[in-house]
Amino acid sequence: MPSLSPTTKLLAAGTAFAVLVVGALILRYAGPSSDHTASSDHTASSDHTASSDHTASPQTTASAQTTASTPTTPPEPSSAAEVIPSKNPRRDPEVDGGVPINYGVFIEIPQGWQRESFNGARVVSPGRGAAQITLSNHPVQTTGLLVPDATTFADMMVLDNLKLGAERKTLAPNLNTFDAATISFTSSYVEDGVTYRFAGVCTRFRGLPAINDVSVSICYFAYAESLDAVRAEVAKMTASIARSI
């Protein structure tokens, strides 16, 4: 094989050097470019993932907050109970004061009087007089019953020489009562030459049927000298009975 000339050797060496330089440049720039691309892809992927996470997180949080903050809808209240006015309202207020007798009727007993019987109510003011209150929840008309009331009461109290007055209609104690009437009477007896005189009254009235349909009988007697005071106190008891009907 013939030997190469110095010029040819120089050209070959220059070409080889150029190839090395170009190869080195390619390696230098191709490598970082791929790394950069991969890094960019990785960064983009991470950003995308972070963006997705960031996007999903507020939605989830908002949903949770909405669920937590949304109040539970309370059940619809039932309609208010219908109030039906009474077809027969009381015309006067009811006042249940004192002690009960029966059938929703009460009596206020004044000072100086004491209750002795619970069959109806017998009240006594020692040395002055006594009164008997009788109730019936099978009411009948007042007319015709006052004479039997007075004679029965006189027998109970052992009142001799009974004299009855005339039965007469009177005003009812209040607007919740009606059919009122009274009868007066006197009595006397003699002991050791001394005449003792008594006077009294029986009263009847009824509660209105639409309110409390009861019949009330009140009889009292008093020593003549105590009649005015006893009459006033019995009138207060009668009013308290009527108020409770």
Instruction: Give residue-wise pLDDT tens across range 166-224.
Output: 999 999 999 999 999 999 999 999 999 999 999 999 999 999 998 999 999 999 999 99
CA–CA distance, 103 with 96 (Å, rounded to integer): 12
Within this chain, do residues 38 and 111 fall inside the same structural domain, yes or no?
no
> What is the spatial distance between Cα 181 and Cα 144, in angstroms, rounded to a whole number?
10
The pTM of the full predicted model, rounded to 2 decimals, is: 0.63
The amino acid at residue 228 is: D
32 pLDDT band, cuts 50/70/90, is: very low
Q: At residue 151, does pLDDT exceed 90?
A: yes
In this structure, the answer to whether residues 32 and 136 fall within a common structural domain is no
Q: Are residues 39 and 105 in the same domain?
A: no
Q: Are residues 107 and 21 in the same domain?
A: no
Please compute, for residue 47, the number of CA atoms within 13 A of its CA located in the half-sphere on the CB side: 6
Q: 41 with 140, same domain?
A: no
What is the rounded distance in angstroms from the CA atom of residue 207 to the CA atom of residue 102?
Answer: 13
Instruction: Look up the domain containing 55 and give its range.
Output: 10-63
Instruction: Indicate whether 21 and 126 sit together in one domain.
Output: no
**Same domain, residue pair 106 and 30:** no
Q: Into how many domains does the chain fold?
A: 2
**What CATH code is carried by the domain that includes residue 217?**
2.60.120
Residues 118, 180, single domain; the answer is yes
User: What per-residue confidence (pLDDT) applies to 92?
Assistant: 72
Residue 189: C-alpha distances to residues 63, 166, 169, 194, 223 (Å):
102, 22, 30, 8, 12
> Taking a C-beta distance cutoff of 8 angstroms, is the pair 95, 244 a contact?
yes
